[in-house]
Structure 1
Amino acid sequence: MSREKLLEVKNLKQYFKSGRHSVVKAVDGLTFDIYKGETFGLVGESGCGKSTTGRTIIRLYDATDGEVWFNGENVHAKKSRKELKKFNRKMQMIFQDPYASLNPRMTVKDIIAEGIDIHGLAKNDKERTERVHELLETVGLNKEHANRYPHEFSGGQRQRIGIARALAVEPEFIIADEPISALDVSIQAQVVNLLKKLQNDRGLTYLFIAHDLSMVKYISDRIGVMYFGKMVELADSDELYKNPIHPYTKSLLSAIPLPDPDYERNRKRVPYDPSMHDTSEEPEFREIKSGHWVLCTTKEFEQYKAEMENK
């Protein structure tokens, strides 16, 4: 895998007003990079700001502060329609709810071809139809599905249609916002395997947002863990599972069930108590070992380092 940066997120903030005087810090100073060809997993419990992060990166929301650089260009500096159109072709999103994200009044053909039409990617109606049929087959459906409507499909099939729509403009980067959370467990693995195959075939880069850590480990090269708008830990997928450092990460991992009755009988949940942290200074994102970053104070940094050395 090349180590060429495709996306750089620098001190990204997304604040929303709540009532007259209070502010919700949905994303509060995130900094991370995503490299070409990798899958970067972003995990955390509901409400931690991970979906807001994805939506801010793709400019569904304007950032309160910070920068997002894609292919060396500042995403939030783009203002003209022409610039935004060019950017939207390179970055696409797969949404969480396959029921709500497809227009029920449009045929599958028109849903998938929407991006093709906007960007003028087909010379005529014959080429447009051919592209739609090809995309349907790419995601495991067939061309006979093109003239049907979304309500005629199952959840898994609808998500495949959503994936085909995202692929229609030949993007480099796809933000998958909890793409499997609304699907049956039996279908989830099929959709994740499809995403992995498409990545290999097309050289795609993913930001994969989810709260299911076991599935994120399966698909991701690196994982960032979010808690209340901040990233608390970032490491290679295997490293994060073998050597979790931040207490919140340990708590999340302790909640993953395994298909092993003996293990489950003795599994101990690790509760997370935010009040246990050192409050003598503002925590910073520090590299505890090569490629493994943790949000901590100086005192906690020394403590975590000693923990790792004693393992």
Structure 2
Amino acid sequence: MASAEKLLEIKNLKQYFNMGKSNEVRAIDDISFDIFKGETLGLVGESGCGKSTTGRTIIRLYDATDGEVLFDGDNVHGKKSKADLKKFNRKMQMIFQDPYASLNPRMKIADIIAEGIDIHGLAKTKAERNNKVYSLLETVGLNREHANRYPHEFSGGQRQRIGIARALAVEPEFIIADEPISALDVSIQAQVVNLMKKLQKEKGLTYLFIAHDLSMVKYISDRIGVMYFGKLVELAPANELYNNPLHPYTQSLLSAIPLPDPDYERTRVRKTYDPIVHQYTDGEKLEMREITPGHFVYCSEKEFVHYQSISMK
């Protein structure tokens, strides 16, 4: 159950990559949002929109170009000692997109899962270490016999469960799931997402869930943010976003979701988004504005008035 207490605050975050003398890529371009304890914030958008870069910058795999990431009030990108970084790395973990590339093929599963346990000294004896590994394997739906096997002996879904067990090993507060189901079959995707929901309820975890699949994001998320070309263009409670999308880009994404209804699919009209056509800026400043309580859209003052009039109908 999400609380009103902020766990993570993103303030004017920027992540620019210099690809040459005159080629600067603004992967994250001045975005701000909060994540509350116990909630799942979904982050969606097309490939290249900056959502994975956002996750990697939050966890400090990339140094931010500008802005702040505050975790429990502490600046993630501030100057930190090795001890501070070690403490931070225990509180925040990541589940990676590719369950094949994210596990060292030369390490046994027990050693992969226990790597964090060893680094943080969470087991005093080998027996305690093994028991923690066995418990984590059972938590994610595997069994202790899997501990002595290698990654190549597992399916994609099983490997992702191992990745989840590894993330849980250090008892984190916050997990960034970077497209954790995109490489999996549809039936396995549901199993992994259900596992994540179960673990969140049992352990009080907070998630940033990054994905392409809008249907799955709606299922797991309390709130959803939509990114487009490095900008956060809409942020709202999951049901509100699906039932009342305001930004034209969000509308275009939702119009592309297929439904198991042949009659609907025959007549479905997909909306396209053209930023030049859809923005009524007239040179006005674009910023995140609250249209209705909890529903924010990146827009101009003129667009703000327009969106408010739509929401009041």
Q: Does 1:2 align with 2:3?
A: yes
Shift of 1:203: 0.2
Equivalent position SS for 1:157: helix
Contact kept in structure 1, 2:39 and 2:206, CA below 8 Å: yes
Name the TM-score, length of structure 1 as normaliser.
Answer: 0.99
Contact kept in structure 1, 2:285 and 2:301, CA below 8 Å: no
Q: Look up the equivalent residue of 1:260 and give its one-letter code.
A: D
The equivalences for 1:235-254 within 5 A come to: 235-254=236-255
Q: Distance in 1 between matches of 2:308 and 2:294?
A: 14
Q: Distance in 1 between matches of 2:3 and 2:275?
A: 37
Q: Look up the equivalent residue of 2:38 and give its one-letter code.
A: G
Equivalent position SS for 2:25: strand
Match of 1:278 among 272, 277, 280: 280
Contact kept in structure 2, 1:112 and 1:132, CA below 8 Å: yes
Contact kept in structure 2, 1:47 and 1:228, CA below 8 Å: yes
Q: Does 1:47 align with 2:17?
A: no
Contact kept in structure 1, 2:41 and 2:222, CA below 8 Å: yes
Contact kept in structure 1, 2:14 and 2:66, CA below 8 Å: yes
Q: Does 1:24 align with 2:25?
A: yes
2:81 alignment partner in structure 1: 80
Q: Distance in 2 between matches of 1:20 and 1:117?
A: 44
Name the TM-score, length of structure 2 as normaliser.
Answer: 0.98
Q: Distance in 2 between matches of 1:149 and 1:187?
A: 20
1:304 alignment partner in structure 2: 307
Shift of 1:79: 2.0
Shift of 1:20: 2.2
Q: Distance in 1 between matches of 2:100 and 2:83?
A: 31
Q: Look up the equivalent residue of 2:139 and give its one-letter code.
A: T
Q: Distance in 2 between matches of 1:236 and 1:213?
A: 13
Q: Percent identity at matched positions?
A: 77
Shift of 1:81: 0.8
Equivalent position SS for 1:76: coil
Q: CA RMSD in A?
A: 0.7
Superposed CA deviations along residues 224-282 of structure 1, whole A, max 9, x for unmatched, are 00000000000000000010000000000000011111111111100111111124222
Q: Look up the equivalent residue of 2:207 and give its one-letter code.
A: Y
**What are structure 1's unaligned runs of at least 5 residues?**
none
1:219 alignment partner in structure 2: 220
Q: Does 1:115 align with 2:116?
A: yes
Number of aligned residue pairs: give it: 310
Shift of 1:72: 1.1
Equivalent position SS for 1:133: helix
Match of 1:295 among 288, 293, 298: 298
1:258 alignment partner in structure 2: 259
Shift of 1:302: 1.0
Shift of 1:26: 0.1
- Say which is worse superposed, 160-169 or 279-288, in terms of deviation: 279-288
Q: Distance in 1 between matches of 2:258 and 2:12?
A: 34
Q: Distance in 1 between matches of 2:222 and 2:181?
A: 18
Q: Look up the equivalent residue of 1:112 and give its one-letter code.
A: I
Q: Distance in 1 between matches of 2:181 and 2:46?
A: 15
Contact kept in structure 1, 2:292 and 2:311, CA below 8 Å: no
Contact kept in structure 2, 1:94 and 1:177, CA below 8 Å: yes
Contact kept in structure 2, 1:13 and 1:63, CA below 8 Å: yes
Shift of 1:87: 0.1
- Say which is worse superposed, 78-87 or 154-163, in terms of deviation: 78-87
Q: Distance in 2 between matches of 1:20 and 1:96?
A: 32
Equivalent position SS for 2:67: strand
Superposed CA deviations along residues 261-309 of structure 1, whole A, max 9, x for unmatched, are 1111111100111111124222111000100000000111111111222
Equivalent position SS for 2:77: helix
Contact kept in structure 2, 1:78 and 1:84, CA below 8 Å: no
Q: Distance in 1 between matches of 2:3 and 2:306?
A: 34
1:157 alignment partner in structure 2: 158
Moved over 2 A (4+): none
Q: Distance in 2 between matches of 1:162 and 1:123?
A: 23
Equivalent position SS for 1:132: helix
Q: Distance in 2 between matches of 1:203 and 1:309?
A: 36
Q: Look up the equivalent residue of 2:280 and give its one-letter code.
A: D
Q: Distance in 2 between matches of 1:237 and 1:21?
A: 39
Q: Distance in 1 between matches of 2:258 and 2:291?
A: 28
